[in-house]
Amino acid sequence: MKKIAVVLSGCGFKDGAEITEAVSTLISLSQHHVEYKVFAPNIEAETLDHVTGETIENRNVLKESARIARGDIKDLQELKSGDFDAVVFPGGFGAAKNLCDFASKGADCKVNLDVERVINDFYNSQKPIGAWCIAPALVARVLGSYNIAVTIGNDKDTALEIEKTGAQHVECTVDDYVTDRENKIITSPAYMYDDTPYKVFTGINKALSELVEMA
């Protein structure tokens, strides 16, 4: 049975992993009859009130991500590419704020060291990497020098920042995905569009169908 690692960045689209994208990923992987394990960095990060948008406190990203994983989660430091066939990064603002600081620095962002290690290890092992929503920007920051192709949909400003990393941006609808077969990078826009959960799931499910086959 194939094994897929899923990396979360908290719980909630404004400050962590986008919940629909994360749950869609887990449901799709189970539909494809693969074994998955959830990871998150054991770091503190700012959290927001999702009603008012106001900052409320700092919380632990690993513990917040455990809400989505039903407690079945490990510290990202424990993730080794040799133990899995592929890795997936759901989106949400946490991918651009907690896994890196793309949200504030764009193409000049710094990436969490464990996140960078994981992306490089899977890439160098020629194992597929999936990313949804804003998470492809994170992958582009790490692997842009390899001229990888990714999508975040059709947001021109974000696409421009991605291309500054050396990566190529390809426009894509919410219910579809883009595959860079040479580099084994699979991306889908998800909630970069203000659209329905069904369309978000559709794009993620299509992308994971190819990722699982490629793994």
Q: Which residues are catalytic?
A: 133
DSSP string for 1-39: --EEEEE---SSTTTS--HHHHHHHHHHHHHTT-EEEEE
The dihedral through the CA atoms of 21, 36, 62, 144 has a sign that is negative
Tokens of 59: 């919380």
Non-local CB neighbours of 151 within 8 Å, separated by 6+ positions: 136, 169, 170, 171, 172, 177, 178, 187, 188, 189
CA distances from 28 to 54, 59, 208 (A): 33, 28, 7
Residue labelled with tokens 């059709």 = 154
